[in-house]
Amino acid sequence: MTAIAQTRIVLLPPDVIHAERLFALIDESRETLRAWLPWVDSTRSAEDSRQFLAGVAEGARSGSACASWLIALDGELAGCIDIHGISKLHRSGFLGYWLADRFVGKGVMGEAAAQALDAGFGALELNRIAILAGVANARSRAVAERLGFVQEGAQREGLHLHGRYHDACQYSMLAGEWRARR
């Protein structure tokens, strides 16, 4: 997978050379990230991040149902974004993303998501990309809404996090809708 670049935001292919920096980002924003991301508590060292990156990179080489990138802002690692749960049969997938706290509110995620959507509706040939965000996760929902995703409804108790169920909003974007926005 090659790097995708447009402006000051660059989507980098996953590579273990970024493991220490990725872990540091997770660690510095641990409390915020853990509210909505169940994997944060099991990410306890740079080795955990290295194993994650190695697995994602291997999956990309073997044609897994996930396309992942690291988000860099002006050359500095800022977070991750992916299209996961890709169904080649239905030409669909789910967009997932996170940023370290100090990069939030700078327009980073909107630009990164637009690049990922260009790849999803372009090279990956998807027709539908969905976002699942906790009803109370205002920041994630705002990303979906700013990008023009359509809210399809709510999944009652659709997320299980830290021993509790949470309702989730489901949004979607179709390839034709994305092309019309670009």
What is the mean pLDDT, run by run of 10 residues, along the chain of 182 residues? 65 95 97 95 96 88 85 96 95 98 95 97 97 97 97 96 96 98 87
pTM of the predicted protein model: 0.92
Under 8 Å between Cβ of 137 and 155: no
Provide the pLDDT for residue 7. Answer: 62
Under 8 Å between Cβ of 151 and 171: yes
- Cβ neighbors of 166 (< 8 A, separation 6 or more) are 134, 135, 136, 157, 158, 159, 160
Under 8 Å between Cβ of 69 and 11: yes
The model's pLDDT over 79-100, given as tens digits with 9 standing for 90+, comes to 999 999 999 999 999 999 999 9
DSSP 15: -
